Amino acid sequence: MSPRVEDALLVFYIVVLSFPFIFGTNGFLMIYYYFKYRDRQVAQKGELKELPVVTIQLPVYNELYVVNRVVDSICSLDYPKDKIEIQVLDDSTDETSAIIAQKVIEKSGQGFDIKHIRRGSRQGYKAGALKYGLAQAKGEYVAIFDADFIPRVDFLKRTLPYFTDEKIGLVQTRWEHINSDYSLLTRAQAIALDGHFVIEQQVRNKAGFFINFNGTAGIWRRSCIEDAGNWEADTLAEDLDLSYRAQLKGWQFVFMKEYTSPAELPADINGLRSQQFRWTKGAIEASKKLLPRVWKSKLPLRVKIHSTVHLSASMVYPFVLLIGILQVPIVFIKHSGHYDATFIMMSGFIFAFFGSFMFYLYSQKDVYKDWRRRIYLFPVFMAGSMGLSVNNTKAVIEGLLNKKSEFVRTPKYGVTGKQGSWADKKYTQKKINWVSITEFALALYCLAGIVMSIVYLEIAAVPFQMLYFTGFGTISYLSIREAVLAKKAAVRVVPNAQPVAEQIVK
């Protein structure tokens, strides 16, 4: 390798490292705000003189394994029946619709105002369904739950008192994970989501930054939705989009860290892939749409800067992928011994790693008594994030290039605790795509880099390369394994899906 090529690669590598470094060091800033505003109350609860009418929207698309469960949970809320309107917004194309129809008949017979709403198409996907239902809604307030959630019985009585403040437009609750102990995959997801909810959402809310509705487990003031321009389907992150538009209008949000809404994590890797892809691509689409509005607004500079970091955070994935690819040639360059001073300087980039670690450490310590046991899985989470970088880089590129794609919902299978299975279910992915093959090739590539590092005695590079090898290798292995198991299961559509759904609910 010529000196000129080595110089160019090293400069490129430093540039690539700089982006994750910036986002990683943001973890320290979040921890600083976490302690600074730890005791701040975002909003005060008032007393409702009269219980308002609430519309509860349940957007559903092919959820035969969990739809009965969420409807039963909603009908168990501790709130007067005559004050609740339930909309099951059903865009399903399978037997889920028949299950819903039967459940609606059952609950209507019990005195519930429950409606089975079908549009005849998926136009606008989830945003389209929510907007369609809102036009027919009776409630002054609108609660939204995805099909995999199991709201607590006191959800409305705990959230509604915040709306006595006329400026409050949304109350968002923290997600709780009913199957976090199911596997290493779900445990790693729990760490990632806890970081978002316990640190990001809480800190942003208390520090006066913008937060986002998480698409579910929250309740809106209807007039806030309408004042912000209603649901729009031009991004895959309709929740993030509406959240920013509402806050730009002056509405305030409340995040309830201490109150949780239980939900099911994706138990299969391909379900997680589709979720991560949608979230990543949607965030990129939303950032392109919203950042010009943020910077044209009269918001304080600190809010504009933090909003930029918030909205553009998904941009880190292509750089994470590039770092993994560049590891091997960098080993050769370092071994040459010509750039020792440069590599000593570059060791400062490890600072960002500690920022991320502190971020997730305090997210676990804040809400779990067994946080020490949980934080041991941080390397697993890191490896998984690296392993998903191919999938999420594809999402970033498509978002930047304005390539439109279908809203692919994350399939759920009624998995709770350590019980249940996904392999024999209808929605499992049965094809091995090029992303999985690319990840497998990258795992072999990183393995070669580990061998070279050992041969050249560049031992300091091995732990980092091991994370990439483990991430790419595990993600690709799980994807291929799940596709094989799904094929072997010879999944077929159940002719009478009613007993299947009822069995899951029981």
Range name among 64-68, 129-133, 426-430, 449-453 with the lowest pLDDT average: 426-430
CA-CA distance, 174 to 283, in Å (whole number)?
20
- pLDDT confidence bin for 203, thresholds 50/70/90: very high
Q: Is the pLDDT of residue 505 over 50?
A: no
pLDDT tens-place string over residues 8-45: 888 898 999 888 888 888 899 999 999 999 999 888 89
On whether the CB atoms of residues 244 and 224 are closer than 8 A, the answer is no
CA-CA distance, 21 to 356, in Å (whole number)?
10
Q: Which residue has the higher pLDDT, 426 or 248?
A: 248
Q: What is the predicted pLDDT for the residue at 489? A: 66
Q: What is the predicted pLDDT for the residue at 423? A: 62
Percentages (nearest 5) of helix, strand, coil residues in the chain: 60, 10, 30
Q: What is the predicted pLDDT for the residue at 422? A: 66
pLDDT tens-place string over residues 171-188: 999 999 999 999 999 999
Q: What is the predicted pLDDT for the residue at 492? A: 46
Return the percentage of the chain with pLDDT > 70, whole number.
Answer: 94
- pLDDT confidence bin for 436, thresholds 50/70/90: very high
On whether the CB atoms of residues 392 and 276 are closer than 8 A, the answer is yes
Q: What is the predicted pLDDT for the residue at 499? A: 38
Across all residues in the chain, what is the average pLDDT? 91
Q: Is the pLDDT of residue 497 over 70?
A: no
Cβ burial, residue 166 (10 Å; 0-12/13-18/19+): exposed
By DSSP bridging, strand 141-144 and strand 218-221 are antiparallel
On whether the CB atoms of residues 128 and 231 are closer than 8 A, the answer is yes
- Report the predicted TM-score, pTM, of the whole model to 2 decimal places: 0.92
Q: What is the predicted pLDDT for the residue at 496? A: 42
CA atoms within 13 A on the CB side of 443: 19
Output 288-293 pairs: Cβ under 8 A, ≥24 positions apart.
288/399, 288/400, 289/234, 289/235, 289/241, 290/241, 290/244, 290/245, 293/244, 293/245, 293/248
Would you please indicate which residues are annotated as catalytic (active-site) residues?
Answer: 91, 239
Mean pLDDT of 387-401: 97
